[in-house]
Amino acid sequence: MIKSVVSHGIYIPFLRITREEYINTLGSCNADIKEKAVMDIDEDVLTMAVEAARNASTEIDISQIGVLTLASATFPYAERVMTGTIIQALGLNKNILTSQHGNSTLAGTEAFLSALGLMEETEAKYALVIISDAPAAEASSDMDHGFGAAACAFVLAKAEPGLRFEGTYAYSDEVPGLRYRLPGDKGVRDIGVRSYSAMAHDDTMQASVQELFNKMHRTPGDYQHVVLHQTSQKTAGALAKKLGFSDGQIKIGLVYDQFGDTGSCSPFIGLCHVLENAGKGAKIMICSYSPGSGSHALSFDYDNQFPDSSKKLQYFLNHKKYISYIHYLKIKKVI
């Protein structure tokens, strides 16, 4: 059965901190951000998820949603049903199929792929996929500098034109010591061996992208837009080049330097920007990555453009307030 994304919604927190602010206060900034999004003290990934989902479902009859999948590596509870929070906040039917995906930054593509499968089990027309994430590390850790926050949501439909899902390729391997979080810890840590981490990053994503090409008999030139997982502006750009993509193919989807590392949301927030700019008939590929390591590459055909959303990525790029590093530490409850 043909399944397509028929609408999308974004939420980016209002607060931002700039690279300059890091340099002025700490003397350096470990991340190649220009600025990054910061959740306010009364936000968490569930509040962001609700806002993104509301933005995605303004034109949709929500009583027709039969599947809800929710993804985050940074849920506010380590154990609890959280799809119920979303169901109440949106007023969805309480008897829909749900799944929660966490524990790694692959959660986003996992939730997306799960929704495609769960749609087979319901008569209802739509599935709602919400990905919301705000990676965190101790304030004293350099890893924290690039960690941002964002949410996005997608409504999937059966047999309707939109962003048609074409296929996927998944790849996982055992690569210990990279970006892991122990039970009870608030932030992630890493053994900090750069060459080891860079090799895992490139090899894992290369494996899923190359094999998706092989499976679908495609080449890099067949895609108008490619969005790779973004843990840094530079490494995402360099890997794209290595895989045979040009600057033009990755430019619109590369948004790391505006919002920071948005975890499992990373390839999807870039996808949202692509959807707001791509022409009809464009072929689009996205690729997620999680240290540990795993990657999912997904291929799409944009056979019908979405209705104009009032809250495009551009709105969130303009709608913001800069905070000081001291304010940032207060939000992180360090001071």
Residue 201 in the binding site for another protein (CB under 8 A): no
Among 186, 234, 280, 330, binds another protein (CB under 8 A): 330
Nearest partner of 249 among 212, 276, 274, judged by Cα: 274
For residues 255 and 34, give the distance between their C-alpha atoms in angstroms, rounded to a whole number: 10
DSSP secondary structure letter of residue 241: H
Tell whether the torsion through CA atoms of 163, 277, 305 and 61 is positive or negative: positive
Decide: helix, strand or coil at residue 35: strand
Q: Determine contact, residues 212/285, Cβ cutoff 8 Å.
A: yes
Closest CB 64 distance from another protein, rounded Å: 16
Angle 63-121-72 from CA coordinates, rounded to 5°: 75
**Of residues 74 and 233, the one with the C-beta less far from another protein:** 74
**Of residues 98 and 197, the one with the C-beta less far from another protein:** 98
**Of residues 84 and 192, the one with the C-beta less far from another protein:** 84
Residue 63 in the binding site for another protein (CB under 8 A): no
**Of residues 14 and 196, the one with the C-beta less far from another protein:** 14
- In the window 80-99, what residues touch another protein (CB under 8 A)? 85, 88-91
Residue 217 in the binding site for another protein (CB under 8 A): no
Nearest partner of 330 among 133, 42, 74, judged by Cα: 42
E-assigned strands of 124-179? 126-133, 150-158, 163-172
Residue 139 in the binding site for another protein (CB under 8 A): no
Among 63, 319, 324, 334, binds another protein (CB under 8 A): 319
Closest CB 253 distance from another protein, rounded Å: 24
Nearest partner of 68 among 93, 95, 99, 91, judged by Cα: 99
Closest CB 101 distance from another protein, rounded Å: 20
For residues 83 and 21, give the distance between their C-alpha atoms in angstroms, rounded to a whole number: 37
For residues 208 and 212, give the distance between their C-alpha atoms in angstroms, rounded to a whole number: 6
Closest CB 48 distance from another protein, rounded Å: 9
Closest CB 83 distance from another protein, rounded Å: 13
Q: Quick one: which segment of 18-26, 37-45, 63-71, 265-273 binds another protein (CB under 8 A)?
A: 37-45
Q: Determine contact, residues 126/157, Cβ cutoff 8 Å.
A: yes
**Of residues 49 and 118, the one with the C-beta less far from another protein:** 49
Closest CB 94 distance from another protein, rounded Å: 11
User: Which residue ranges make up the site for another protein (CB under 8 A)?
Assistant: 14, 40-44, 46-47, 50-51, 54, 76, 85, 88-91, 310-311, 315, 319, 321, 327, 330-331, 333
